[in-house]
Amino acid sequence: MSAHLERSGKFLLDAPVEEVFPLFTPRGEKAWVDGWDPEFIHPAHGRAEAGMVFRTRHGGEETLWACADFDAGRHRVRYCRLTPGSRMGFVTVACRAFGNRCAEVEVAYALTALSPQGEAVLAEMTEAAYEGMLADWQARITRLLSAGCETPARGAA
């Protein structure tokens, strides 16, 4: 047992990094992840910050999350995640300005299986599957950003 997996990848979004980075907070992901509805345990207000703890019930699983590091100024966040009886690990998202207006998003997963069920999940996260997941994220966020192009708040930025 105890299979371990590390994956990372990058994608570009046509929006400023200051607009993109908040989309990778627990509250921000609600805008583009179907069924994502975090339950904020600490602090109850749910603002992203180091030390926050929240729970998700997504994709048929319950996962506990803790924000290990949050640096809004550097556009970087690192979460520790535990899906009981399955897997534990870290998810790191780092955004940086790319060109005049775009943002590059780097997403890294480091996961360790805690059971045969977790090993099966890790086995499904091939390089191709991970690249597909990031392509899906890019497409979903691009649709979200495009839908907001006509809003006065986005146009004023």
Residue 152 has pLDDT above 90, yes or no: no
pTM of the full structure: 0.90
| Cβ atoms within 10 Å, residue 7 | 18
Give the pLDDT confidence of 90-115 residue by residue, as tens digits. 999 999 999 889 999 999 999 999 99
Cα separation, 93 vs 115, whole angstroms: 26
**Mean per-residue pLDDT, 116-127:** 96
Domains and CATH numbers, the chain: 4-149 (3.30.530.20)
The predicted model gives 138-153 an average pLDDT of: 75
4-58 tens-digit pLDDT: 999 999 999 999 999 999 999 999 999 999 999 999 999 999 999 999 999 999 8
